[in-house]
Amino acid sequence: MIQLPLVQVLSLAGLLFVMGLIGLLVRRNALFMLISVEVMLNAAGLAFVAAGSRWQQADGQVMFLFILTVAAAEVAVGLALVLGLHRQLKTLDTDAADSLGG
């Protein structure tokens, strides 16, 4: 049996991360920006699991668990902020929230 080359999995993780980054930079809807951040976190987790699988260690999967926790906490706070934004400005456009811009 052949082992998957680490380079290919890491390339996939990098591509997914870049897609999330593009989404974060291009979209102006707060909900889509949160989803893009999730895509990036997921790609980072994929890289950890791939490395852990390459060296047959459980550490990569433990790191994925930590990333999962961070993603869950981030989504809870981020969605609360999105709800607050919608309640105050009646829009999800992040460019509308420019009160600190002077």
* Residue 67 neighbours by CB under 8 Å, 6+ apart: 41, 44, 45, 48
Report the alpha-carbon distance of residue 27 to residue 10 in Å, rounded.
26
Matching residue, tokens 């930590």 = 66
The reply to whether 14 sits near other proteins by the rule CB under 8 A is no
Indicate whether 38 belongs to the interface with other proteins (CB under 8 A). yes
Residues lying near other proteins in the complex (CB under 8 A) are found at 1-4, 8-9, 12, 15-16, 19-20, 22-23, 26-27, 29, 31-32, 34-36, 38-39, 42, 46, 49-50, 52-53, 56-62, 64-66, 68-77, 79-84, 86-89, 92, 99
